[in-house]
Structures are given as structure tokens and as C-alpha cells.
Amino acid sequence: MTTLMTVLGIVVFVIGLLISIAWHELGHLSTAKMFGIRVPQYMVGFGPTIWSRRKGDTEYGIKAVPLGGYIRMIGMFPPGDDGRISARSTSPWRGMIEDARSAAFEELQPGDETRLFYTRKPWKRVIVMFAGPFMNLILAVALFLGVLMGFGIASQTTTVSSVSDCVISQSAASAGKSACARTDPASPAKKAGLKAGDRITAFDGRRITDWNTLQDDIRRTTGPATITVERGGRSVVLHADLIRNQVAKTDGSGGYVQGQYVYAGFLGFTPATGIVQQGLGDSFQRMGGMVGTAVQSLVDLPERVPALWRSAFDGAPRQPDSPMGVVGAARVGGDVFSLHIPPEQRIATMLMLVAGFNLSLFLFNMLPLLPLDGGHIAGALWEAFKRNLARVFRRPDPGPFDVAKMMPVAYVVAGIFLSFTVLVLIADVVNPVKIT
């Protein structure tokens, strides 16, 4: 049964991946057609074509390898300085430029002179190239909101899981101290009579519905305070005398900053964890934290290569936040469906995985590097800047920015990305990230 659920989880993730890719390319396709650019192909996947159908002047299809997708637009690059579409050079770098320029005009038909990508205004080209990543962002936000507000996520609640017997600083607890010494004072919660299973409904007369609010109120308070709890179906009012103690620093999103501490009000209990539906404001706050984490992960990517290499070839432990490729994410999807958790939580976790994948696609594609969408956007913005500058100083129009001249750099960037992808693939196969 576990094997069957693992396979099912992988299949579901692959379907989510294909939908995400198709959705991304639909953004490019719809805006390109809106601006009158001819698009001969819309393909999901790479390699041999499994299925295709032509509608109008576009061939729609699915290919064998679900590791990406593309649309092909006529005239991605302008003709060369001599006005020719194709030429050959003995220089390998120049040859790359000419090959890219020639490929941009494949299947050129009569009447296409007015349907070329490079002839569109820069702002239209920006929209066409941005539309793909933006579709991934829309899908990520929709999935995140659906899970956070619909299914809910594991969060700390206002129900008491356990009560501390004594006052221990957070740094001492982190260092391994758990037993109370005879000289340690009893915790305020213990003195007040708080018990495991109590649900705190009010703090100092203020109604409480979520853990973040309760935690903030506790940390702002030292001295006497009333605590209203629901115990055995009835309301009980307790009187506590909170003290100032060393506690873990929070990150503002419900989490804790590892190894950092502050002094604040202390009651002395551990909240229970449960599945809690988030409000709209809390959901956007959590998503903001996810975006920040994803951006930082992208920035830190070069620093993670040595650890990834050791995991792939030296048998070093794979870190939970290690970069993953499609294969690794699919394996995690399989692990999700084999977890012994309620079915709705399996679905929610899978949706969060697909949402995270879409967020990563958006951020990665926005890097201002060719051949990524962000590289084409940067080229169009640079052209707009040069043309506006020429207009201000009444100079001749410099013409379209020739992105083809950047193709040697694009090949180098693509080579680096490909090498990294292969390294991640090896690590995902021999030493995958696992969840429990």
C-alpha cells in the first residue's frame, strides 16, 4: 500500500508540474497573440513529440520529457547589421549569433514582416516575456491561499500542551537543561494552576483567538494578569504573576530565530499544535515570509554547491533545505502521499509543494540573464532606455537591441545551469531529500 501511495504521489506531482509548465507558456502565448506576434509552436516538455494538433497557425503539443516547455515566436532577434537574416562565419562565437538569428526566422511566411517579435514596442515585449513567470506567481498565490485559508496548516494554538514546572532560560533549555533544580523558582503558569488541555480564551480581559496574539500579550506583560481558560466545558479564571525571562526571538511570522534570544514576559507553558485555518491577512503575511525565504535561497545557491557535491559524491547527509530538482521534488511528492496523516493534509502538503515549485519558477525566470525570461526583459528595457535617451538628445534612433549578440553569454549561462541541474539530479537520485 505504501508503494502504491508513493507512486500515486509522484504521478500527482508530475501532473502538477505539467500544468504549471503549460500555465507558464500560456502566459507567453496569449500575450504574444494579443500583440499580433506569430507563434508556430506551443509545446509542453522536450524531446520527441507524443501528441500535437494544429489550430490556426500554431501547433499545440506534448513532448516526452516533462522538464520544461516553450513557445516559438517568429523574429525573436532582429536581422544583422547588414540586414541579412542568415549568414555564416568562421568564428565560433559569431556563428552562435548567426545561428540564433537564423533560427528566429525559421518558417518565415509572406506577411510575417508585420508579425515579428522584435518589431513590437519594448513595453509589449516586456509584457510577453513577463507573462510566463507572472502566471506561475498567480498560480503560487492561489494555491498558497487555498491551502492556508481552506485546509489550514500545522500551527501553534491557544490550547496548553504542557506546563513548565520551573523557570528555565531559553538559552539553558537549548543547551540541554530540562530538569528543574531545587533553587529554580516555580513557573508563573504552574503557580496559577494552568493545566494541560486548558484552552486560553482571554488574557487580562482581552479575547484571544490565535497563538500569535497570545504570545505577544504574554511577552509584553510582567506582573499580575488574569487568564481565562476553557476547562472541561466551563470557563475558569486564573491569576498569574508573570516574570521577565530569557525567551527565543521571533521572526515576525510565527517562527523563531535560531540561537537568538530576548528578555520578555514569561508565563511558562508549551502550546499545542493543531491544523489552523489562516485569515487573509495572516495568509499574506506567511506568504511574504515564504517569498523572503525563497529569495534568500536563490541568493545563497552558489554557497550550497559544495555541500550538494559532498551529498552527491561523498555520502554526506543531505540537508532538508538542500536544492532539489524535478526528480527530487517528485520523490518528495511520493513521500507526502505515503505519510500516515489524514488524506486532506496529504493533499494540502502536495498543493504547497506545487505552489513552492511555481514560486521558484517565477523567481528563477526573473533573473536578468539570457536565456531566461528576465534576460529578454532586461534587453527590452535597455532598448527602451537607449531610444528614449536618443529622443531626448535628438539623436538618431539606435534601433532594436540585438539580443542575438548576447547568445555566447547565454550559452555559457545555460551551460552553468545545465551543470548545476545534473549535479542536483545526481544528488536527488543517490542521496534524496526525505520527509518524515
- Which residues are known to be catalytic? 25
Close Cβ partners of 130 (under 8 Å, ≥ 6 residues apart):
373, 377
- Are the beta carbons of 331 and 427 closer than 8 angstroms? no
C-alpha grid cell for residue 28? 507567453
- The identity of residue 48, as a single letter, is P
Residue 282 CB neighbour total at 10 angstroms: 18
Cis peptide before 371 (omega within 30 of 0): yes
Candidates 57, 107, 139, 127; CA nearest to 356 is: 139
Q: What is the β-pairing status of strands 199-203 and 234-250?
A: unpaired
DSSP assignment letter at 114:
G
Close Cβ partners of 266 (under 8 Å, ≥ 6 residues apart):
167, 187, 188, 218, 242, 243, 244, 245, 247
CA distance 270 to 195: 11
Determine the 3-state secondary structure of 197 from DSSP. coil
Helix (H) or strand (E) holding 254: none
